[in-house]
Amino acid sequence: MKSRSEELRETIEEMIAVGTLAPGQHLDETELATRFGVSRTPIRETLIQLASMGLVVIRPRRGAVVAELGPRQLVEMFEVMSELEATCARLGARRMTPLEQQALLDAHEECKIASVAKDPDDYYYKNEAFHYAIYAGSHNQFLIDQARSLSRRLRPYRRLQLRVRDRLPTSFAEHDGLVQALIDGNGELAAQRARDHVMIQGQRFTDLMASLPQLTAAAS
């Protein structure tokens, strides 16, 4: 059973991921305490936890704000994310059990349903489950922890990407090629397809930069 502190952290983390709390937005402890019906102490503890994850920045005597990423930071973090995912895919191609392969196929099918429905919010959650299935298949807990940590840090931006025109069917097609390489046990091909799927560059980077104001607008 989750503690109240864990529930608070997950709720606020989700609000950041979906843009309800936008990058750069001030996080007022009193306001959050009133919203969740708790004292300021658990809110303060939650913000410290989120700061350790890189989702919040706590400034001396100025309080906490939702962390912002500049263009260079985004590129650098997506670059590292793509390499972590590539490593997970390479190991997963060798190590995934039949049950884990089936879990991946099930997650892939759920992504297809959301893609066909043109529902970016539903696809976002199904897409996350799909990637987590690949992480699990690596059978390397340290790698899994690192991949999940950075993935959480990038959640608002990965979600935003899915709202770019035609990104859902493109993402699903990329998943399709990645799944095939994983099931075939082709580690190098799986790694390359995972890397290409996650990396932000060229037009994808331009589209993401153009969409960033939506995060702020969502909280207005």
The tokens for 156 are 């608002």
Whether the CB-CB separation of 43 and 33 falls below 8 Å is answered with yes
Question: What would the pLDDT profile of 126-156 be if each residue is shown by its tens digit?
Answer: 999 999 999 999 999 999 999 999 998 888 8
Whether the CB-CB separation of 171 and 194 falls below 8 Å is answered with no
The tokens for 18 are 């979906």
Phi, psi of 105 (to 5 degrees): -65, -40
Question: What would the pLDDT profile of 75-133 be if each residue is shown by its tens digit?
Answer: 899 999 999 999 999 999 999 999 999 999 999 999 999 999 999 889 999 999 999 99
> Strands (DSSP E) along the chain, which ranges?
26-27, 56-59, 63-66
The neighbouring-strand residues paired with 159 are none
At residue 21, the 3 state secondary structure works out as coil
Q: What is the pTM assigned to this prediction?
A: 0.80
- b (16+ CB within 10 A) / e for 68-102: ebeeeebbebbeebbbbbbbbbbbbbeebeeebbe
Question: What would the pLDDT profile of 150-197 be if each residue is shown by its tens digit?
Answer: 998 888 888 878 877 788 999 999 999 999 999 999 999 999 999 999
- Counting Cα atoms < 13 Å in the Cβ hemisphere of 211 gives 18
Domains and CATH numbers, the chain: 4-66 (1.10.10.10), 71-218 (1.20.120.530)
